[in-house]
Amino acid sequence: MSALRRFSPFSSMRALWVAVLLLLLLAALLVQPIYQPDFWWHVQMGELVLAEGRVPQADLFSYTVPGRPFLYQSWLAGVVMALSYHAGGAALVIVGNALLLLAAYALLLWHCRVEGQNTRLAVAATLLALVVAAGNWAVRPQTFSVLLFVALYSILDRYRQGKRSPLWAAPLILGLWANLHGAFITGFLLLGATLAGEVLKRWLPGRPLPVMSWRRLGWLALAAVLSAAAILANPVGPGILRYVLTIWGNPAIRGFIAEWKPTGTEMGTSLIFLGSLVGYLLVLVLRRRYPDPTDLLLLLATAWLALGGVRNLLWYGLIIAPLLVRALAGREEPPDPLPNPVLNTLVVALVAAIVLLSTPWLKGLVPLPANLRGTLAADTPVATCTALRERGLNGRVFHQMESGGYLVWRLWPEVQVFIDSRIELYPGGVWEDYLQISAGRPGYQELLDRYEVQVLVLNRSFQGGLVAQVRESPVWEWVYENAQEDTVVFHRR
C-alpha cells in the first residue's frame, strides 16, 4: 500500500477530482456525433481550397444567391477539417474536436488552480464554465476559438499580475485565429479590456490596487498593436473586420437562428447566467474585495455578449470561472481525507474505461440512446443522398436548412441548394421564402415555381406541413422515403 501511495498519481483526492472531471468531459465529447449544421460545407470549402490553392470569394453552392460575394473567413479550419476527414473519417474528426476542447478546459482548470491555490475551487469553477457552455461543443470551427481564447486570456492575466508570461505569443495567436474562426474578435476584447483596465487602475484615488509599470504597459500596448496587424495576414486583409462585424449585426441571423437569440429567451440558461453573475458580485461584497477594473471590464464585456446571444455564453463562462476563483482566493484548502490510492486508482480506471467505450470506434458496444450511436447525427441524409445520385435527381433542390451543407458536400455541383448554414450569405427575403415553403403555407407552389425547384428533399418532422401538401399535389411525384433519416423525396412531374 505504501508503495502504491508513493507512485500512484491518484493517491491525492485533489488529483482524483481533476482526473475524473477531465475524463468525464472527454467521454461526453467523444460520444457526440457530428451534427449537420456548420460542418459539411466547411469540409467542401476546405477541399476546394486544397484543390484550387485559393479561397473562393463568391457563393458556388446555392441557386438563390448564385455568385453573391462570400468571404470564407474560416478557410484554415475548413482545410484542417477536410484533411482530418479524409485521413480518418468522421471518427478522427470527432476525436480531434474532443482533444481541442479538452485542452482548452484543462488549461482553464490549470489557470484557476494557480490563481486560487485551491484545487477543489478550481474544479468547481471549471465545472461551472462547462455548464454555462453546454451546447457549444459541436464539431465546427468554433472549437479552435475556445482553446485560443483560454490561451490568450491566461497569457494576459499572468502578465498583468507581474508573472512570467509569453506576451510575445499574443500576435501569433491573433494571426492564426483570424484564419480559423470569426470569434477572433473576442481576442481584441481581451486585449482591449486588459489594456484599458490596467491604465484605469493608475487613475483610481489612492491606488488601492497594484498598478502596472509604464514600461510593462508599453509592452502590452505594443502587443495589442502587433496583434491588430497580425490579423491582416489573411486572404482578404482588412475586409475581415467588416465581415465579422456584419455577421454580429445581421438581422437574419438573430431572427432565425436559435443560438444567436438573446439569452433571455431560454429560462434555464438565463437562470444559470444570472445566478453566476449575481453570485460573483455577492462574493465581492461579502468578502469586501475591491473590484479589479480589468476583471470588471472583462466580465461586463462578456456578459453583454452573452445577453445578446446564447452562443456567447461560452466566452462568459471562460471568464467568470477564473474571476470567481480570484474572488474566493485566500481560504486555506482543507486537507485531503485519508488517501486511498487503491480505491482512487480503481475509480480513475473505471472512468478511463468509460472514455474508451465512448470513442467512435467502440461506442457501438454500449447501449446508447439512438441519437448518440453513430458517428453522424441520425438525421444526416446519407442514404437519401445515395438515392438521389442513383436516380439521377440533380439540379435545384429544396430542403431543410440544416441539411444544406451535407447536400453540398455529397452532391455539388450536380445539385444546387436553396439555403444552408452560411447564415450571413442569405438575405431576409430568402429566409422568409424558406419558412413559407417549409410550412406549406398558401403560395408555396408559386415560390417553388419561381425558384425553378426540381427536387424536394424534405424533413418529415420540421417540414410536415409541406410534406402533407406535396403528397396531394399533382405537380410532385413521390420518389423515396427514409424513416431513420426522417426524409422524403419528391421530384417535379
| Confidence (pTM) | 0.93
User: Mean pLDDT across the chain, nearest whole number?
Assistant: 90
Cell numbers representing residue 227 in the block: 496583434
Instruction: Indicate whether 235 and 168 sit together in one domain.
Output: yes
Tell me, yes or no, whether 392 and 311 share the same domain.
no
Cβ neighbours, 10 Å, residue 272: 18
Q: Which pLDDT value is given to residue 226?
A: 97
Tell me if 4 is assigned to some domain: no
CB environment 297-331: b (16+ within 10 A), e (fewer): bbbebbbebbbebbbbbbbbbbbbbbbbbbbbeee
The reply to whether 387 and 316 lie within a common domain is no
- Is 444 contained in some domain? yes
Return the minimum-mean-pLDDT range out of 106-115, 200-209, 396-405: 200-209
Q: Does residue 296 share a domain with residue 228?
A: yes
Going by pLDDT thresholds of 50, 70 and 90, the confidence category of residue 256 is low
Confidence of residue 1 (pLDDT cuts 50, 70, 90): very low
Give tens-digit pLDDT for 421-435. 998 899 889 999 999
Whether 190 contacts 298, CB under 8 Å? yes
User: Domain total for the chain?
Assistant: 2
Are 422 and 252 in contact, with CB atoms under 8 Å apart? Answer: no
Q: Is 25 inside any structural domain?
A: no
Clarify whether residues 284 and 193 are in a common domain.
Answer: yes
* Average pLDDT of the segment spanning 60-71: 94
Residue 264: pLDDT over 70: no
Q: Are residues 314 and 396 in the same domain?
A: no
Shared domain for 148 and 287, answered yes or no, is: yes
3-state secondary structure 299-354: HHHHHHHHHHCHHHHHHHHHHHHHHHHHHHCCCCCCCCCCCCHHHHHHHHHHHHHH
Q: Which spans in 161-183 are helix H? A: 169-177
Would you state the pLDDT for residue 287?
85
- Decide if 360 is inside a domain: no
Classify residue 75: in a domain, yes or no: no
For the residues 349-364, what does the mean pLDDT come to? 94
Whether residues 324 and 391 fall in one domain:
no
Taking the C-alpha atoms of residue 260 and residue 255, their distance in angstroms, rounded to an integer, is 8
Same domain, 156 and 261: yes
Residue numbers of the domain that contains 320: 110-328
Q: What percent of the chain has pLDDT over 90?
A: 69
Q: Which of 328, 357, 391 delimits the end of a domain?
A: 328
Which range has the top average pLDDT, 116-125, 165-174, 253-262, 303-312?
165-174
Residue 7 pLDDT? 46
442-485 residue pLDDT tens: 999 999 999 999 999 999 999 999 999 999 999 999 999 999 99
Q: What is the reported pLDDT for 16?
A: 87
Boundary-marking domain end, from 328, 345, 364: 328
Q: Whose CA is closest to 150, among 195, 100, 199, 208?
A: 100
pLDDT band at 407 (very low <50, low <70, confident <90, very high): very high
Task: pLDDT band for 155, please (50, 70, 90 cuts).
Answer: very high
Residue 76 lies in a domain: no
Indicate whether 155 and 237 sit together in one domain: yes
Given 264, 297, 328, the domain boundary residue is: 328
| Residue 139: pLDDT over 80 | yes
- Give residue-wise pLDDT tens across range 193-229: 999 999 999 888 877 788 899 999 999 999 999 999 9
Does residue 300 fall inside a structural domain?
A: yes
Whether residue 473 lies inside any domain: the answer is yes
Q: What is the mean pLDDT of residues 130-157?
A: 93
441 and 305 within one domain: no
Q: Are residues 399 and 306 in the same domain?
A: no
